[in-house]
Amino acid sequence: MDDDWDFDSIVMIEESFIKEGAKEGEVAGQPIGHTQGRMQGMEQGFTIGREIGSLYGFLKTLLKVQEFKPDTIPKRAQKHIDNLIVLIEKFPTKNDRTTDFDGLIIPIRSKAKLIFTLLGIPYLHPSVDVNPNAKTACQKDLSY
């Protein structure tokens, strides 16, 4: 029996299998990663669109209520509402790789939280699952 084993060649074979397997895995994973990334982007875009759309609709409705009941919105909140509407209307609706959507949504969310606080309404992020049967406590009656 020969006691001279060539451990270097065995280690080299193992390393070559590892490298080859890594290359094959990378090639096989690229289409899957692309598809998953696209799906995640679509879900994220839908969530942001829903958030901005519902906020915009709320603000426009609030301004209509203000027409019928002039003292509904405090003057301080009115200025922030006008600024937020401008921010929302400037928000891009086209998918552009160079646009920093996170950088644009953060000021909108901050301004929305401030407005909701000034109005005495609890602000719920759209990702929060809300029970439609639950009643939220508003400090100010916005009905007319």
Which stretches of the chain drop beneath a pLDDT of 70? 1-5, 125-144
The pTM is what?
A: 0.66
**What per-residue confidence (pLDDT) applies to 144?**
45
pLDDT of residue 110: 93
Cβ atoms of 78 and 109 closer than 8 Å? no
For the chain, first and last CA: distance in Å? 99
Q: What is the pLDDT of residue 93?
A: 84
pLDDT of residue 28: 84
* Integer Cα distance of 140 and 39 in angstroms: 41
Count the Cβ atoms, other than its own, within 10 Å of residue 74.
14
Which two tokens mark 123?
């602000």
Q: Distance of CA 113 to CAs 11, 44, 76, Å?
A: 60, 20, 14
Domain residue extents for the chain: 10-119
What is the pLDDT, as a whole number, of residue 112? 93
The pLDDT score that the predictor gives to residue 84 is 95
